[in-house]
Structures are given as structure tokens and as C-alpha cells.
Chains A and B, each alone.
Chain A
Amino acid sequence: MQVGSKAHHAPLAPWTEVFMAFARIGLTSFGGGSATVSAMRQLCLRKRWLTEAQFIDQLVLSRLTPGISILSQVMLIGRAVCGTRGMVAGLAGLMLPSLTITIALAWGYERISAFPRAHVPLHAVAGMAAGFAVSLAIQLFRDIMRPVPFVRAFLLFALFVVLGLWLGDPLLVMGIAIALALIFPDMFEVLPPPPDTGAPDEP
């Protein structure tokens, strides 16, 4: 061991840096989507990969994309840093630690649930998980309702609740939601178009 010698580190390839950075987030971002988005924002600003405006722009776009929006955003960030390699490295970095921990915990949960003495504690944990689901539904309700005229949005929301309870098929309810929006777009036009509009609205 050389005492006092200066350590020389070869600079990491950009995609390796993307992988390492997202792997750290994948390992430590407990608390669901908001915790992960917050960690990604700090990362992008600290490393100067994106400006705040670019980050928000990507956030909005990823929210419009089907599936887990964080994965869409990781792809966009990785690609902005170093193209396709960055995109793959970002996804792999975020998902590998999270998935490993998730599958390991699922394995452990399954084993523990076989013990009779674990039934009451796991029943309590299931109750807590149901409470978290209720809480996330309330948070989503607040987020969607905040920027829109409340009464009209609430009436439409109530209509979909009734349809959901009556029909019992989520896919059918969502199909009706899409059809209603296509036939009566004005009924769902509660927000103004984005300010940087260049293209006219369709007639």
C-alpha cells in the first residue's frame, strides 16, 4: 500500500456513469415514484445532464406515456447523456437493484407467510398496504383535480365511479372514457392548450 500517493481514476465512460448513477437511485429510492423522481432531478442538475426546464419537459412527456412513467423518463435522460447506450444503461441501472431486492423480498415474504405465527403480523402489514393504496388514490385525486374546474371534473369522476361499479370491467369503462372524449371533446376541455402553441387546434 502506498501511503500518500495520489489516486488516479480513469474517467468513466458516459454510459458507465449513467449506469452507476441510476443504480445508486435504484438501490436507495424508497418511497415510490415521488422519491425516485426527486433523486433523478437532483442527479440531472448536479451532473449538469439537463437543465431544470429540460427535466420538467421530460417529466411531462413521460407522464403522457403508458406504463411506469419513471422508466420512460430514465430512457429520455440516458439518451440525452449518451444516446442508445445511455438509455439502456439508465434502465438497467435503475431496474437491476430494485428488481433484485423486490424478488428477494417476495421470496422471503412467501417463506415467512408459511409460519402460523406470522399470520397476524402479515395481516397487519396487508392492512397497512391497503391504507397506502387508499392514500395514493387520494393523492392522485388531489393532483388531477387541483388545476381544473372542480365541479365539472368531479361530476365526470362520479360518472366513471358509477360506471365502474355498474359494469365491473375496468377496460370497458376506460373504453367508454376514450369514446366520450373523442365524441364530446369540449366536455373534457378543462385546461388551456400549452403556451408554446404553434399548431392550431383541430376543428
Chain B
Amino acid sequence: MSLEHLFVTVLIANMIGFGGLSSLPVMRGQLDAAGLQADSLLLHSLSVANITPGPNGLYLVVVGYFVLGMKGALVAVVALMLPPMLVLPLEKARSRLVHLKRFRAVMFSLSLSVMALLAISSGSLAWHAATDVLGVAMVCTGTVLLLNRAPPIAGFILALLVGWLVS
């Protein structure tokens, strides 16, 4: 994957996603199309991003780093910073847009489709990680921990400890 391709991939995933991990389905599709092991790459990137401060979307920078090193990370940062700038024209147009029935319909329809695609992607990631008893136990534990608002760093440390004890 070239730097230009990575830039476009992250930009598209970020442009269509609306924060958090909503860019995950598009990113997974793009990585797959580029012939990379998407699920494995995303799992390792999410592992790192879960223990860093800041937005969850920074996992895209980790993907960039794992694919093309420091240059890849920097290209991903640039691609991450561009879409949020649309807030400035959107702020001017908001009062007109939010009252348009079709605009509200598109926003809701996009939310539903992103949610559906995220369900498929996260299911695929869980399937990829749950290759043995340890993997299944960790997927279940991670789901329950975050649903109960436990700090991600606690889950990370727990997984490291359990993995170390099992190995």
C-alpha cells in the first residue's frame, strides 16, 4: 500500500464515519481490498488505541503506523484532521439544514447503516480473536467490562496478566 493509497483510505473511512469506531467497517473493507490482513491489523491497532488517551478514532493512526511506519502514521494524522474542518461551513448552513426533512432522513439512515456495518465488523473482529478458550474469554470479558464503564486500561492490564499466566 502506497502513502497516497493509505491517505485516501483513511480519509474515506473517516469522512463517512461519524466518530468513535464508526469508521471501522469502511477501513476494514478498504484494507481487505488492498490485500492486507484487515482483521488482524485492526485488532492489533485497537489494542494499542484502547490504552492511549484521546479519541477512539486514533486507532487509524496506529493502522497507518503498522502499515507504513512513521510516515504512514503522519499521513493518517493529516487524513484524520481534514473532515472535522467541515464543521465550519456546516455551522453556517446548520439552521437551514436541520429543518430539511431529507437532511434529517439522510443523517438517520446513515447512522443506521453505520451501526449495522459496525455490528458486522465488530462481530468479525470477535470471531477472528476468539480462536481458542482464552480468546473467547477475553472477548466476553472485554464486552462486559466496557459495558459496565470499566476503564479500558484495566482491561488491558487484566488481559496481559491472564495471558502471561496462561503462557
The judgment on whether A and B are partners is yes
Interface size classification for chain A? 35 or more
B109 near A178 with CB under 8 A, answer yes
Contacts of A20 in B (CB 8 A): none
Contacts of A186 in B (CB 8 A): 101, 105
The 8 Å CB contact of A174, one of B44, B114, B155, is: B114
A129 near B81 with CB under 8 A, answer no
B53 near A28 with CB under 8 A, answer yes
A125 near B156 with CB under 8 A, answer yes
A32 and B126 in contact, given A127-B135, A174-B113 (Cβ under 8 angstroms)? no
A157 to B111, CA, bound (A): 9
**Residues of chain A in range 173-193 having any CB-CB distance to chain B below 8 Å:** 173-174, 176-178, 180-182, 184-191, 193
Tell me if A114 is interfacial: C-beta within 8 Å of chain B. no
Pick out which of these stretches binds chain B: A2-10, A41-49, A69-77.
A69-77
The 8 Å CB contact of B84, one of A68, A128, A141, A156, is: A68
A182 to B115, CA, bound (A): 19
B99 near A135 with CB under 8 A, answer no
The 0/1 profile, CB within 8 Å of A marked 1, for residues 14-35 of chain B is 1111111110111011000000
A132 to B103, CA, bound (A): 31
B65 near A136 with CB under 8 A, answer no
A139 and B147 in contact, given A61-B90, A106-B48, A128-B159 (Cβ under 8 angstroms)? yes
Chain B residue with Cβ nearest A107: B65
Tell me if B75 is interfacial: C-beta within 8 Å of chain A. no
Contacts of B128 in A (CB 8 A): 130
A76 near B126 with CB under 8 A, answer no
A73 to B55, CA, bound (A): 12
A194 and B108 in contact, given A66-B14, A131-B145 (Cβ under 8 angstroms)? no
B159 near A189 with CB under 8 A, answer no
A137 near B56 with CB under 8 A, answer no
A27 near B43 with CB under 8 A, answer no
Separation in Å of the B83 CB from the closest CB of chain A?
3
The 0/1 profile, CB within 8 Å of A marked 1, for residues 121-157 of chain B is 1110110111000111111111111110001110110
Q: List 27 A-B contacts (CB under 8 A).
A: A33-B55, A67-B15, A67-B84, A68-B14, A68-B19, A72-B84, A99-B58, A99-B77, A101-B52, A119-B167, A125-B47, A128-B159, A129-B125, A130-B126, A131-B144, A132-B50, A135-B145, A136-B122, A137-B121, A156-B112, A160-B115, A170-B16, A170-B28, A177-B109, A177-B112, A188-B105, A201-B101
Q: Hey, which bits of chain B sit against chain A, CB under 8 A?
A: 12, 14-22, 24-26, 28-29, 43-58, 61-62, 65-66, 70, 73, 77, 80-88, 90-91, 94-96, 98-102, 104-123, 125-126, 128-130, 134-147, 151-153, 155-156, 158-160, 162-164, 166-167
**A-B pairs with lowest CB-CB distance, top 9:** A131-B142, A127-B138, A67-B83, A98-B54, A121-B163, A124-B163, A160-B116, A120-B167, A135-B146
